[in-house]
Amino acid sequence: MNHLLFSFVALSLAQERAEEASRDRLAALAVAGNPSSPSLLRRALARGFAAFSRGSASVVRRLDSCIADDLGRALAPTE
């Protein structure tokens, strides 16, 4: 009698796990079709930050070259 009970419990457990796996698979398929909006927001913020960073780097390079020219003139020996 014990082996029948164990067989029944094992079959029941296997059926529950198969149903859970099926639900998880369907949920993953549903999510894969729709990109999440937070990732779109993150991507947009990252692109905006990258553009700001590139712009500020350009300004710094321009200022650096001007200051280097002024510094070179200031340190040049005068007669």
Phi, psi of 76 (to 5 degrees): -65, 140
- Judge whether residue 5 has pLDDT over 80: yes
- pTM, rounded to two decimals: 0.41
Please state, in angstroms and rounded to a whole number, the distance separating the CA atoms of residues 51 and 55.
6
pLDDT digits (tens, 9 = 90+) for 17-61: 999 999 999 888 887 776 666 678 888 999 999 999 999 888 888
- Please name the amino acid found at residue 15: Q
